Amino acid sequence: MSSVGILYLANTEAEVWLGFGNGIFYGCGYKHHVRYALGPSGIRPAGREALASTRPITLAGNMVAYETFYENPEVLERHLIVRDLGSGRVLHKAPTDSIKEPTFRRTAGASEAHSVVLTADGAVAWICGQVGGYQVRAIDKHGERVLAAGPEIAFESLSLSEPEFDYESFARIGSTVYWTQGGKPMSARLE
């Protein structure tokens, strides 16, 4: 499918590419060969006095996690999105942080997502800036939550274990996400 653009990310189940001429990121699962527009690359004009961008971050199985950014004088929005490239369905869409900008404009996610990790079943974790430090945030079957917050979080330290299995039922039971805070290793489960 990448014949319509420049390959950006790929694994054995899906790929993401940048379209020729239009600067739009697309994703496709190999099983169904349907392409889905993720959004514009780079920061681009999006109407009068507005900017928009998309930054694909990671691919796991058929899942892609990416950040969208939109800004104009009334709105500032950064969302982390998890999309299933097999079905096109958006599994998660959440502001990158919980910062409310102290201005007149509507804000949903003011800081970039850093160090994003994604599981093949769509659970995601990332580190973002906050007033006075950083947050480790996650979305999985338990919902959206903050795993840790503070000035001592190493913002590029996030990593993910291989999926863990229940060998009696042969079911995947989650992964562990790791980060460094205050020079010490920290962890939490993603399910």
Phi-psi region of 62 (alpha: psi -120 to 50; beta: other; left: phi over 0): alpha
Nearest C-alpha neighbor of 121 from the set 149, 89, 95, 98:
89
Distance between CA atoms of residues 100 and 119, nearest Å = 29
Residue 171's CB is within 10 A of a number of other CB atoms, namely 8
What is the Cα–Cα distance from 172 to 65, expressed in whole angstroms? 20
Using CA atoms, how far apart are residues 123 and 84, in angstroms rounded to an integer?
11
Neighbours of 13 (CB within 10 A): 16
| Tokens 């058929």, located at residue | 62
Which residues are CB-contacts of 45 (< 8 A; sequence separation ≥ 6)? 51, 52
Instruction: Write out the chain's pLDDT in tens, 191 residues.
Output: 445 788 999 999 999 998 887 888 999 999 988 999 998 887 666 665 667 788 878 999 999 999 988 877 777 788 899 999 999 999 999 988 876 555 555 566 667 888 899 999 999 999 988 878 899 999 999 999 999 999 999 988 999 987 776 677 666 667 899 999 999 999 999 98
Give the pLDDT score at 129.
Answer: 83
**Angstrom distances, CA of residue 4 to CA of 16, 100, 186:** 11, 39, 42
Q: Find the DSSP H helices in 141-188.
A: none
pLDDT value for 61: 93
At residue 183, the pLDDT reads: 94
What six digits make up the tokens of 20?
Answer: 């020729």
Residue 190 and residue 164: Cα distance in Å, rounded? 10
Q: Are 157 and 179 in contact (CB under 8 A)?
A: yes
- The residue extents of the domains of the chain are 2-151
Q: What is the pTM of this model?
A: 0.86
pLDDT at position 5 is: 84
